Amino acid sequence: MFDTQTPEKTVTSDTLKFTARDVHVYYDDAEAIKGVNVDILDKTVTAFIGPSGCGKSTFLRCLNRMNDTIPICRVTGEIRLDGQDIYDRSIDPVQLRAKVGMVFQKPNPFPKSIYDNVAYGPRIHGLANTRADLDVIVEKSLRRAALWDEAKDRLDSPGTGLSGGQQQRLCIARAVATAPEVLLMDEPCSALDPIATAQVEELIDELRQDYSVVIVTHSMQQAARVSQRTAFFHLGHLVEFGETSHIFTNPSDERTESYITGRIG
Ligand SMILES: Nc1ncnc2c1ncn2[C@@H]1O[C@H](COP(=O)(O)OP(=O)(O)OP(=O)(O)O)[C@@H](O)[C@H]1O
């Protein structure tokens, strides 16, 4: 089911980025997340795994308040980023999402040029004073997303004209352009072929030098390859959370074992 040969990846940071306490999420009366507590570390890739409908994406979306955009969705409990309550009245969700960037399942570049896709966030957040500043941010972000060499001669071409894998890297460049601290990725490789998937996985490994990355994935092989910590969700509960190598080789909970051995899911 998973690659037991994957070398153990050590957690390199003990700095807490997010702390979530007793988080419940409801869609109308249906409870999708049932009292989740979790600590997410800086400069670490954390994978959320679990059967379809267990709440992985719902919980991920709590971390940058994307659930605010769903009228029937209600979040209770406490989520802190660097110690600050992200659901506090004083927090502007738009500013929060610049700090906590998100990459979605399906690459979704804006119908704009490659340059403008990346420049969009820095422009609306006033991160560049001059065109030259913006050029620097765009180049740096495209380099960070390992897309510069392929894109540098076609910056004025539409982002939608890139291949699927390139589009996803463009979306990663767009997310890193606002200098976020955390990157949330909701099944970022599910629409990609194996080569593009490998490129994005390599990129995730590089990004963790600078960011905390949280990735939802259906692929246990992918979780084992890219993450240092893994959280297993089941029916809205966070069943088990720990070092990826431990979760995959020696899970403590029967439900985790059933999932990773393919008996539930
Ligand atoms: N916008 C929504 N409106 C109503 N219910 C929703 C909404 N989004 C998710 N749900 C429900 O919340 C529960 C958790 O869904 P969620 O998408 O978070 O699970 P998931 O583990 O990410 O699933 P998958 O792996 O299939 O993407 C499910 O019962 C789902 O039907």
HSE-CB for 8 with a 13 A CA cutoff: 8
Backbone phi and psi for residue 180, each to the nearest 5 degrees, phi listed first: -75, 170
Residue 219 lies in a domain: yes
**Mutational pocket test of ligand 1: of 24, 27, 31, the residue with most ligand atoms within 8 Å of the beta carbon:** 27
Query: Would you say residue 4 lies in a domain?
Result: no
* Domain contains 8: no
Long-range contacts of the stretch 9-15 (C-beta < 8 A, 24+) = 9/227, 9/228, 9/244, 9/245, 10/228, 11/41, 11/44, 11/228, 11/229, 11/243, 12/43, 12/44, 12/208, 12/228, 13/41, 13/42, 13/43, 13/44, 14/41, 15/41, 15/42, 15/43
Question: Does the Cβ of 27 fall within 6 Å of ligand 1?
Answer: yes
Question: Is residue 32 one of the residues assigned to a domain?
Answer: yes
Residue 1 lies in a domain: no
Task: Assess whether the C-beta atom of 52 lies below 6 angstroms from ligand 1.
Answer: yes
Evaluate whether residue 9 is within a structural domain. no
Q: What CATH number does residue 147 fall under?
A: 3.40.50.300
Q: How many domains does the chain have?
A: 1
pLDDT of residue 192: 86
Of all protein residues, the one whose alpha carbon is nearest to atom 25 of ligand 1 is: 52
Name which of 32, 67, 73, 74 is nearest 235 in CA terms: 32
Per-residue tokens: 146: 């390992």
Structure tokens, 258: 């059933």
Q: Distance, CA 33 to ligand 1 centroid (Å)? A: 10
Closest atom of ligand 1 to 59 CA is 18
Residue 38 lies in a domain: yes
Are 35 and 26 contacting, i.e. CB atoms less than 8 angstroms apart? no
Find out whether the beta carbon of 251 lies less than 6 Å from any atom of ligand 1: no
Ligand 1 atom closest to 50 (CA):
21
Residue 139 is encoded by which pair of tokens?
């180049």
* Residue among 132, 173, 119, 127 at smallest CA distance from 150: 173
242 domain residue, yes or no: yes
Write phi, then psi, for 62 (nearest 5 degrees).
Answer: -65, -25
Query: What is the pLDDT, as a whole number, of residue 6?
Result: 39
Rounded-to-integer distance, Cα 164 and Cα 142, Å: 16
Computed from CA positions of residues 140, 146, 147, 148, in that sequence, does the dihedral angle turn out positive or negative? positive
pLDDT at 4: 38
Protein residue closest via CA to atom 8 of ligand 1: 58
Ligand 1: which atom is nearest the Cα of residue 70? 1
CA–centroid distance, 158 to ligand 1, in Å, is 32
Question: How far apart, in whole angstroms, are the C-alpha atoms of residue 163 and residue 259?
Answer: 33
The alpha carbon torsion through 147, 151, 155, 161 (nearest 10 deg) reads: -100
- Whether 32 is in the pocket of ligand 1, judged by its Cβ within 6 Å, is yes
Measure the CA–CA gap between 18 and 38, rounded to whole angstroms: 8
Q: What is the distance in A from the centroid of ligand 1 to the CA of 228?
A: 25
Q: Which of 29, 34, 56, 58 to mutate to test the pocket of ligand 1 (most atoms within 8 A of CB)?
A: 58
Residue (of 78, 105, 16, 46) closest to 223 by Cα position = 46
pLDDT in tens, the chain (265 residues): 443 333 444 555 679 999 999 999 999 999 999 999 999 999 999 999 999 999 999 999 999 999 999 999 999 999 999 999 999 999 999 999 989 999 999 999 999 999 999 999 999 999 999 999 999 999 999 998 989 999 999 999 999 999 999 999 999 999 999 999 999 999 999 888 898 899 899 999 999 999 999 999 999 999 999 999 999 999 999 999 999 999 999 999 999 999 998 877 6
Ranges assigned E (strand) in the chain: 16-27, 30-41, 45-49, 73-81, 84-85, 100-103, 182-186, 212-216, 229-234, 237-243
Residue 151 lies in domain: 16-260
Question: Ligand 1 centre from 227 Cα, in Å?
Answer: 23
Residue of minimum CA distance from atom 12 in ligand 1: 32
The DSSP annotation for 18-61 comes to: EEEEEEEEEETTEEEEEEEEEEEETT-EEEEE-STTSSHHHHHH
ipTM value > 0.95: yes
Q: Which backbone phi and psi does 92 adopt, to 5 degrees?
A: -90, 115
